[in-house]
Amino acid sequence: WTNLLDMIKSPVKVWDVPYKPLGLGEYPDIQSLWGVWEEGRCIDGIRRSVPLRLIEEKWGNLKNENGKGTFPVWRPRNETSARKTWSNFSFFINEVEKRRRQGKSTQQAIEELEQLRNGKSLNQLYKSLRPKKGSK
């Protein structure tokens, strides 16, 4: 995958091809969402896209043209729906990673989140777990 990513000259276009994450409603469970992060998404049942983890590692937080600040080169900068899709997707990646930092395995972290989900949709779980706006 690394060689393929090195050949891409315009990473912002990566979002528009089948690499962007889907909306939360498109994933049946957290395992599926995590699979897109770690292994890539199945495309037409015949191949997989590059894992989003690798794309984010390569283009997720690069310095801007002036050498200041960071921005995700591969995601659209001024597109509200893209920001929301990424925010919702990465929320669950961060939740799994947080539990891994607490000493849990990836599978244990996913199972814990699935227990919290308890039949809810991923959107409902997201709303129940995310910090409320204005709360500290």
Domain segments of the chain as ranges:
1-129
Between 34-43, 68-77, 98-107, 110-119, the lowest mean confidence (pLDDT) is in: 68-77
Kindly tell me if the per-residue pLDDT of 69 is higher than 70: no
Name the percent of the chain lying above pLDDT 90.
47
- pTM confidence score: 0.80
DSSP helix/strand/coil, 29? coil
DSSP helix/strand/coil, 34? helix
For the chain, the C-alpha Rg in angstroms (whole number) is 16
Residue 83 to residue 92: CA distance in whole angstroms: 15
